[in-house]
Chains A and B, each alone.
Chain A
Amino acid sequence: MGDIAVSVASVSKTFRLYHDRNQTLKATLMRGRRARYETFQALDDVSLEVPAGTTFGLIGENGSGKSTLLKCMAKILRPDGGSIVVNGKISALLELGAGFHPELSGKENIYLNGAILGLGSKDIDRKYDQIVEFAGLERFIDTPVKNYSSGMYVRLGFSVAINVDPDVLLVDEVLAVGDEEFQRRCNEKFAELRAQNKTIVVVSHALGLMRTICDELAWFEHGKVRQVGPAGEVIDTYLAEVQPDRQVEADSDGHGARWGSGEIRIESIDLLDHQGQPTTRPHTGEAVTIRIRYHAEEAIERPIFGIAIHNIEGVLVSGPNAREGGLVPEKIMGDGVVDLTLPQLMLLPGTYDLSASIYDYSLVHPYDFRQHAVRFDVVVGTPHETTGGVLALGGEWSARADDGSMRQLPG
């Protein structure tokens, strides 16, 4: 398929940033003009083409313009200049269950939401059973949606949206919703759409996921396209480039939340590579050390150090503490470091957040907890595993026919 599904030609978009949020007639008349504003160039002469039948990702830091472009494609925002041509029916998954009315039943909302997303009543009649079944809400379909759990709400929203059966589907960070079972079914549905040669344009910060599902990526920076190309290539250059930013982020306080009573404080958290050098880009399989530097104002008895690693979707990957690890200092005071050495960092390539904490022995009272204090990007290493999940198991594949005709492959 050499066709173009979405063609973006020299698209620009500026936003107005108002100085005073209240836009009132009174103020306008008194000043003789509307509220003062500055402009912000969200998209600056962006051109790209999304080939039909591919999954195309948009990545970039916050405010780089990727979501703005997605909204322009969805016709929610209108560009100031340039043009966007979409070939085929388009559907946007920007928010699940947008337009649900809480007082209406699930069934009534299916028709309402379907109509909002561009499905006719006849289409919905046809797909109704399918929608209800996919959401798994057969028993609750006549209940007002205000009584739904947030999971049920989202499931129904997703189910309607996905059944719009678009040629081009726009997705913005909505994949990480619902329970695991539903996540699995969503992913299956996306796989199914890809197999049907539907075009999917997706915006996400989850680089691991993007590497897995996208054929091509466009990297946005300050409203311009930095690079377009195969997913793996773009992510690798992107990670190499954003490293300095990470360092700044890690150094500055307040990246994540911080709490605790403060008798002993975490001064710094560092990720060290196998040579003992600070890094924010460790390789899969590399030996790394997580170093917590502390400062205790008073003598602290039996403090328990701990760390936690979350992936970018917020899923806890691991959260070891030193009590289980057999390190319980009787009493510490002043300055020092505690190291956690990982002989092999068995994380798949992607972005992770590192938290560190110091608790009392009972693990009930936090002295200092620094959540998501350091963000780091794992890049491809050995074992060379890049797809599916968060962990590299580092296993070895082998095959043997029953008659013994195959040998284990060398290397």
Chain B
Amino acid sequence: MNTMADLSQSRDLLVNLTLRELRGKYKRSVLGWTWSLLNPLATMIIFSLVFGKLMKIKPAVGDPSGLVNYPAFLLCGLLAWNFLSNAMNGSMVALLGNAGLIKKVYFPREILVFATILALDWGFLIEMGLLVVFLLLLGNMVLPWLLGVVVAMVLLTVFSTGVGLVLSMLNVYFRDLQYLVGIGLQLWFYATPIIYPVSLVNNSGAPQWFKDVYALNPMLGFVGIFRALLYDLRFPSWGQVAYVTAWSAAMVVLGMAVFRKFEPRLAEEL
């Protein structure tokens, strides 16, 4: 077998499956692509009203940007979170939803997970583009930091892929995993400083061990990096970058290991 030919074939398949996801998703709706933006927009408005206006959660002050704007503060974390959460939910049905295909044709199965996440990346990119425009309108000169944002997006994609690989396979074997993950995602959402600044926890009277455990959350790192680049306009701390890079690498290794372990019986378990 020619590995190079295999690789280019897999690439073609990845591209085609991603296009299938993207085209199929909004083909039948009148608003088409705008739907994909309406969702985060609605979340942003609701959260801004509830947490920003009603509960008066103070956004952090951009350092050194000096920006104080709750919707902007929220979106810098929310977009990354939405990507992860969509990737997790999408991965869980990536194999189950394509059972017919898996039982009838051979191709590298992990491509189904990759395609799901790659399709989400496209939406992520558009949302991020609009956020950049929004931030520029607010006077935040984010353009010099965009390369860093792209790198952070790639890292988050790698991390999500690792998580997705695990979930896609486990959900075949344990069909009620979806509900558990639904609950887990809610918990994880509030455990991540998305609607509130991280200082809220760090400056609270919570015991030190709680703060230490809280800081282990890799999404804390991702959200921190996106906020540093987009909201604060500064380079994120190297420690944070190293931490999420390590998590991403570890998740992909774990993801592939789990996937390989369960793959042999996949077609018959579906």
Residues of A within 8 A of B (CB): 15-16, 22-26, 28, 34, 71, 74-78, 92, 94-95, 98-99, 101, 103-104, 108, 111-112, 114-121, 144
Query: Closest CB-CB distance, B147 to chain A, in whole Å?
Result: 30
Question: Can you offer 16 A-B residue contacts whose CB atoms are under 8 A?
Answer: A15-B268, A74-B105, A75-B106, A94-B104, A98-B101, A99-B100, A101-B23, A103-B24, A104-B24, A108-B23, A114-B16, A115-B13, A115-B15, A115-B17, A116-B105, A118-B13
Q: Which 4 A-B pairs rank lowest in CB-CB distance, beginning with the nearest? A: A115-B16, A75-B106, A25-B174, A24-B176
Q: How far is the CA of A331 from the CA of B16 in the complex (A)?
A: 69
Looking at A15, A92, A103, the one whose CB has the most chain B CB atoms below 10 A away is A103
* A-side interface mostly: loop
Give the residues from 251 to 270 in chain B that come closer than 8 angstroms, CB to CB, to chain A.
263-265, 267-269
A270 to nearest B CB, angstroms? 41
B35 to chain A, nearest CB (A): 14
- Number of inter-chain CB pairs below 8 Å: 94
Residue with the highest number of chain B CB atoms closer than 10 Å, among A74, A92, A99: A99
Given A23-B174, A118-B9, CB of A112 within 8 Å of CB of B104:
no
Complex formed: what's the CA distance from A116 to B176 in Å? Answer: 29
With A25-B180, A104-B27 as contacts: A116 and B175 at CB distance below 8 Å? no
B13 touches which of A26, A28, A104, A116 (Cβ 8 Å): A116
B12 touches A94 (CB 8 A): no
Task: Please give the distance in Å from B207's CB to the nearest CB on chain A.
Answer: 31
In the complex with contacts A95-B100, A116-B107, A26-B176 CB distance below 8 A? yes
Q: Are B268 and A120 in contact (CB under 8 A)?
A: no
Chain B residues positioned under 8 Å from A117 (CB to CB): 105
Complex contact B264–A78 (CB within 8 A): yes
Closest residue to A77 on the B side, CB-wise? B267
CA distance A275 to B215 in the complex (A): 91
Q: Is B106 touching A74 in the complex (CB atoms < 8 A)?
A: yes
Q: Please determine whether A111 and B106 come into contact, CB atoms closer than 8 angstroms.
A: no
- In the complex, residue of chain B having the shortest beta-carbon distance to the beta carbon of A24: B176
| Residues of the A chain whose Cβ atoms lie less than 8 Å from the Cβ of B264 | 78
B186 at interface by CB-CB < 8 Å: no
Chain A hits for B175, CB < 8 A: 22-24
* Nearest CB of B to A212, in Å: 26
B20 touches A112 (CB 8 A): yes
Residue in contact with B23 in the complex, picked from A76, A92, A104, A119, CB distance below 8 Å: A104
Q: How far is the CA of A92 from the CA of B106 in the complex (A)?
A: 8
Number of interface residues of B (CB under 8 A): 34
The interface residues of chain B lying within 8 Å CB-to-CB of A15 are 268
Is B243 part of the binding interface, using a Cβ–Cβ cutoff of 8 Å? no
Q: Is the CB of B106 within 8 A of A28?
A: no
Distance between Cα atoms of A16 and B105 in the complex (Å)? 21
B56 lies within 8 A of chain A by Cβ: no
Indicate if the CB atoms of A99 and B105 lie closer than 8 Å: yes
What residues of chain A lie closer than 8 Å to B23, measured between beta carbons?
101, 103-104, 108
Whether A98 pairs with B100 at a CB distance below 8 angstroms is yes
Contacts of B250 in A (CB 8 A): none
Indicate if the CB atoms of A104 and B176 lie closer than 8 Å.
no
- Tell me, rounded to whole Å, the shortest Cβ–Cβ distance linking A220 to chain B: 18
Contact of A103 with B106 in the complex, beta carbons under 8 Å = no
Cβ contacts under 8 Å, A76 to chain B: 102-106, 267
- The answer to whether the Cβ of B173 comes within 8 Å of any Cβ in the partner chain is yes
Alpha-carbon separation in the docked complex, A93 to B177 (Å)? 33
B8 near A: Cβ within 8 Å?
A: yes
A25 CA / B263 CA spacing, docked (Å): 19
Within the complex, the shortest CB–CB distance from B206 to chain A, in Å, comes to 31
A117→B106 CA distance, assembly (Å): 8
Interface centre among A94, A98, A119 (most CB of B within 10 A): A98
- The listed residue with most A CB atoms (<10 A of its CB), out of B19, B20, B101, is B20
Which chain A residues border B16 with CB–CB below 8 Å? 111-112, 114-116, 121
Across-interface contacts of A25 in B (CB, < 8 A) = 174, 176-177, 180
CB distance from B74 to the nearest CB of A (A): 33
Which residues of B are found within 8 Å of A23, using beta-carbon distances?
173-175, 269
A101 touches B101 (CB 8 A): no
Q: Are B19 and A120 in contact (CB under 8 A)?
A: no
B106–A115 CB distance below 8 A: no
Cβ–Cβ < 8 Å partners of B107 in chain A: 116, 118
Contacts of B24 in A (CB 8 A): 101, 103-104
Instruction: Give bound CA distance, A118 to B226, whole Å.
Output: 39
**A residues near B98, Cβ cutoff 8 Å:** 99
A131 CB to nearest chain B CB (Å): 15
Q: Give the distance to chain B from A316, nearest Cβ to Cβ, in Å.
A: 30
Min Cβ gap A11→B in Å is 14
Beta-carbon nearest neighbor of B100 in chain A: A98
Select A121's contact among B12, B105, B173, beta carbons within 8 Å: B12
Measured between C-beta atoms, what is the minimum distance from A345 to chain B in Å?
Answer: 39
Find the residue from A15, A23, A92 having the highest chain B CB count within 10 A: A23
Residues of chain B in range 107-163 having any CB-CB distance to chain A below 8 Å: 107
